[in-house]
C-alpha cells in the first residue's frame, strides 16, 4: 500500500515529529497512496512511518480539522469527497474566489505575475504532461488571487476549500491542462489590468468551467 519512508523525501527533519507526520500523511492522502474511504489503523500507520501513535494521532486530529480525514465511529477514515460535495465546494469557491479576484485586481506585484505566467508557459510547452507541475501552477495562480486580496480570512477559507476539492479525483487532470492554463492566463491578465469587475468575472468563469467539466 504505502512504501514511502517518513525520513526520506523533502521533509525538513528539524521540525517537530508530529509536524513531519502531518506532512507525510497529508501527502499520502493527496497522492492517493491513501485513498478516500480507507480506514486508518493507528498502530499500522504509526509503524509504517516509524513513529509512535502519539504524534500520529496528533497529526490525524489536525488533518481532521482541515477535513482530509474524518472520524467514522471510533477510527479515522480518509475523507471521501463525492461528486455532490465537490460541486458544492466549487460553487462556494466561485463566490469566494470571484470576490478575492476582484479585491486583488491591480494589487499584485508585477514580479509575482511574471513568475506565475512563466510557469504556465513552461507547463504548456512541456513535451510531456507533468501532473505535479500542473498542481503547482494551479496553486500559484490561486495563491496570487488570495494572498493579495487584503483579507486573510478570505484567503484561508479558499485555501481550505481547495484542499478538500483536491480529494475529488475522478476527473482526468490532463484534459484540464489547456483550459486551466488559458483561463488562468485570463485571470492573471485581469489582475494585471486592475479591472476588478473583469477579474471577478474571469475567476468565476474559471470555476464554472471546472464545474461544467465535472457534471
Partner DNA sequence: CCTCGCTCTATCGCATACAAGTTGCATGCG
Partner DNA sequence: CGCATGCAACTTGTATGCGATAGAGCGAGG
For its own copies, the binding residues (CB under 8 A) are 57-58, 61-62, 64-66, 85, 88-89, 91-92, 95-96, 99, 151-154, 157, 161, 164
Residue 144 φ/ψ region, left for φ over 0, alpha for ψ in the -120 to 50 degree band, beta for the rest: alpha
Distance of CA 77 to the CA centre of its chain: 19
Q: Which is nearer to DNA, 72 or 193 (CB)?
A: 72
Measured from the CB atom, is 5 or 121 closer to DNA? Answer: 5
Dist. CA 92–CA 158, nearest whole Å: 9
- When CB distances are held under 5 to 8 angstroms depending on the partner's kind, the choice from DNA, its own copies, none that residue 212 binds is none
Q: Are strands 39-40 and 75-78 parallel, antiparallel or unpaired?
A: antiparallel
* Nearest distance in Å: CB 15, its own copies: 12
State yes or no: residue 18 binds DNA (CB under 7 A). yes
User: Which listed residue (8, 12, 13, 73) binds DNA by CB under 7 A?
Assistant: 73
User: Which three three-digit cell numbers place residue 140?
Assistant: 500559484
Nearest to 208 by CA among 84, 81, 91, 82: 91
Residue 51 binding DNA, by CB under 7 A: yes
Minimum distance, C-beta of residue 64 to DNA, in the bound complex (Å): 11
Give me the half-sphere count of Cα atoms (radius 13 Å) on the Cβ side of residue 4. Answer: 18
Q: Does 136 bind DNA (CB under 7 A)?
A: no
Q: Could you give phi then psi for residue 192, rounded to 5 degrees? A: -65, -40
Q: How far is the CB of 71 from DNA (least distance, A)?
A: 7
In the complex with its own copies, the residue whose CB is nearer, 44 or 71, is: 71
What is the helix (H) or strand (E) element at residue 69, kind and residue range?
Answer: strand 69-72
Binding region for DNA (CB under 7 A): 16-18, 39-44, 51-55, 57-58, 71, 73-76
Amino acid at each position: 500500500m504505502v512504501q514511502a519512508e517518513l525520513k526520506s523525501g523533502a521533509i525538513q527533519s528539524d521540525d517537530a515529529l508530529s509536524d513531519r507526520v502531518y506532512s507525510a500523511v497529508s501527502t499520502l492522502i493527496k497522492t492517493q497512496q491513501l485513498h478516500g474511504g480507507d480506514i486508518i489503523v493507528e498502530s499500522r500507520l504509526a509503524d509504517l512511518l516509524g513513529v509512535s501513535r502519539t504524534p500520529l494521532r496528533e497529526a490525524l486530529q489536525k488533518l481532521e480539522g482541515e477535513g482530509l480525514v474524518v472520524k467514522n465511529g471510533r477510527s479515522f477514515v480518509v475523507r471521501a469527497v463525492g461528486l455532490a460535495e465537490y460541486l458544492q465546494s466549487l460553487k462556494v469557491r466561485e463566490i469566494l474566489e470571484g470576490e478575492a479576484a476582484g479585491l486583488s485586481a491591480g494589487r499584485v506585484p508585477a514580479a509575482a505575475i511574471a513568475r506565475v505566467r512563466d510557469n504556465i508557459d513552461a507547463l504548456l510547452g512541456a513535451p510531456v504532461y507533468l501532473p505535479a507541475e500542473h498542481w503547482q501552477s494551479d496553486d500559484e495562480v490561486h495563491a496570487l488571487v488570495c494572498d493579495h486580496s487584503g483579507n486573510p480570512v478570505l484567503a484561508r477559507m479558499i485555501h481550505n476549500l481547495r484542499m478538500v476539492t483536491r480529494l475529488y479525483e475522478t476527473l482526468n487532470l490532463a484534459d484540464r491542462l489547456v483550459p486551466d492554463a488559458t483561463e488562468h492566463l485570463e485571470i492573471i491578465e485581469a489582475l494585471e489590468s486592475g479591472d476588478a469587475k473583469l477579474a471577478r468575472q474571469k475567476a468565476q468563469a474559471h470555476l464554472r468551467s471546472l464545474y461544467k467539466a465535472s457534471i
